[in-house]
Structure 1
Amino acid sequence: MRVPVRWVLWDVKDTLLKVRRSVGEQYCREAQRAGLQLSPVQVETAFRQAYKQKSKLLPNYGRAQGMDSQVWWTGLVRDTFGQCGVHDLALLDRLANNLYHNFCGPENWEVFSDSTGTLKSCTALGLKQGVVSNFDRRLEGILRGCGLLTHFSFLVTSEDAGVAKPDPAIFSQALEQCGVPASSVVHVGDHYVKDYLTSRSLGIRGYLLNRQDGQTHADIPPEHILKSLDELPARLQQDTD
């Protein structure tokens, strides 16, 4: 007999919300306030390179090296603008501080049009909801500012958990908070490995969100793929009875 669903766990970035403008554009807007004229394309390229390097050397905001996310992001902003010819340390620190706090609120984030309605529908089905995200400690404030926080009973961020997806340990921490077997839990996310495969490896019912209808994976049954969050409530209703 199939165990009924009791909880829905959510990824956040690119599942429930996304950055409002490209990183290059948003970094350049802040630089412009400081009197700098930079190319968004150049800054975006520099950011991606710096992010890749820092994530490899100091994964998960440098938690294992005793760092916190603000220190980690400050270093990333310095590296990004440094590649673009900005070397004034005081200016770099000011840019980093401003950008860190700019991304704390809703002005730089956009909620997908199908997010709020789906979260409400899950609540109406009697399901409890939580978050499992490779995010830093700003997530609570962002979700509050975007009007989504009240839907969740708990948030597990990789910074607070000390581990990041695809490490299954972050899902194990979430399951402890759910207090039910993994088979009674659903997870929804947009990443094939970090969200779908990792949650499924623990017995969680993983769904892969594929908004762009891009790369397909032959090993995923069609019923595990969502092209929109609007499709989720009907599938869950079948599993909650």
Structure 2
Amino acid sequence: MRPTPAGNGRGVMRAPLRWVLWDVKDTLLKVRASVGEQYCKEAERMGLKLSPVEVEAAFRQTYRHQSKKFPNYGISQGLDGQSWWMEVVRGTFSKCRVQDPALLNTMAQNLYHNFCNAENWEVMRRKHKNVFSDSEMALQRCSSLGLKLGVVSNFDRRLEEILRVCGLLSYFSFLITSEEAGTAKPSPVIFDLALQKCGVPAACVAHIGDHYEKDYVASRSVGIQGFLLDRHNTYGNSDVPIEHRLCSLEELPSRLQQHMN
């Protein structure tokens, strides 16, 4: 039987907060260019001229099919993140009339590895004035409060290198990716793995992410204090209490400080 979610108003004594778990993509980092633009840039390097709009549409169709057929990078079906993504790339370009197997493999290899480059990501730092100006500040302030930080992300094993080249890796005590865990949010199993690493009760842990089901609902289902990052007021009329909703990561440290004693 799972614990009652923390802070649910049922009179359960609140435990002091000790850890903060973070989603990464679209919470701390954002891909700089669209998939269509990135793929077309690689195709151009190979001497091909493709339409970003057409490539983006082909990618979305291929990605949906691959995700449905092989969930979570096909880990339970004998695949890994690299082979999964390379098949997505090959399938995308094939839909755009690129048929040379050697060329498809080369572009798939290049795009898989190039995704780790810092220039492919918007790092949400004040000094860089990128799309999200609050990420590094929030990490710094949470750390200065004495909170330990970890990552729980539906991502492949490249995440550690991405965080390293973006200058954020040192903030985290551990990373759990869905590829390495073999399970993905919203499964409670990946949060249970994170709690084992934290070594404290769920009520002493918070989680912040931008996805209602995968981040907010899933974390609170295991007793973690889930917060939903809602930069565009998407969930203003939802059942998410205002005290669980953040318009910016700038709000997070003071919100967490209320739960530390």
Shorter-chain TM-score bucket reads: over 0.9
Residue matched to 2:212:
192
> Aligned partner of 2:32: which letter?
R
Residue 236 (1) aligns with residue 252 (2): no
Give the aligned CA root-mean-square deviation in angstroms: 0.8
Residue number among 59, 62, 66 corresponding to 1:50 in the alignment: 62
Residue 86 (1) aligns with residue 93 (2): no
Residue number among 89, 113, 133 corresponding to 2:153 in the alignment: 133
Residue matched to 1:62:
74
Q: Residue 251 of structure 2: SS of its match in structure 1?
A: helix
Residue matched to 2:88:
76
Hey, which of these two has a bigger chunk of helix by percent?
Answer: 1
Aligned-pair distance for 1:218?
2.8
Q: Residue 193 of structure 1: SS of its match in structure 2?
A: helix
Deviations 1:23-59 (A, max 9, x none): 1001000000000100101100110110000000001
What CA distance in whole angstroms lies between the structure 2 residues aligned with 1:218 and 1:95?
42
Residue 97 (1) aligns with residue 117 (2): no
What CA distance in whole angstroms lies between the structure 2 residues aligned with 1:89 and 1:57?
22
- How many residue pairs get matched? 241
What CA distance in whole angstroms lies between the structure 2 residues aligned with 1:146 and 1:238?
30
Aligned-pair distance for 1:219?
1.6
What CA distance in whole angstroms lies between the structure 2 residues aligned with 1:41 and 1:215?
29
Percent sequence identity is 65
Unaligned ranges ≥5, structure 2 = 1-12, 125-132
Residue 224 (1) aligns with residue 236 (2): no
Deviations 1:204-237 (A, max 9, x none): 0000001112243532110100000000011111
What CA distance in whole angstroms lies between the structure 1 residues aligned with 2:135 and 2:163?
12
What CA distance in whole angstroms lies between the structure 2 residues aligned with 1:103 and 1:218?
34
Q: Residue 240 of structure 1: SS of its match in structure 2?
A: coil
Residue matched to 1:28:
40
Residue matched to 2:136:
116
Residue number among 137, 143, 167 corresponding to 2:187 in the alignment: 167
What CA distance in whole angstroms lies between the structure 2 residues aligned with 1:198 and 1:215?
16
> Aligned partner of 2:144: which letter?
A
Aligned-pair distance for 1:106?
1.2
> Aligned partner of 1:136: which letter?
D
Unaligned ranges ≥5, structure 1 = none
Deviations 1:78-101 (A, max 9, x none): 110011110110000000000001
Residue matched to 2:231:
211
> Aligned partner of 1:203: which letter?
G
What CA distance in whole angstroms lies between the structure 2 residues aligned with 1:86 and 1:215?
41
What CA distance in whole angstroms lies between the structure 2 residues aligned with 1:95 and 1:71?
13
Q: TM-score of the superposition, structure 2-length normalised?
A: 0.91
Residue matched to 1:182:
202
Residue matched to 2:49:
37
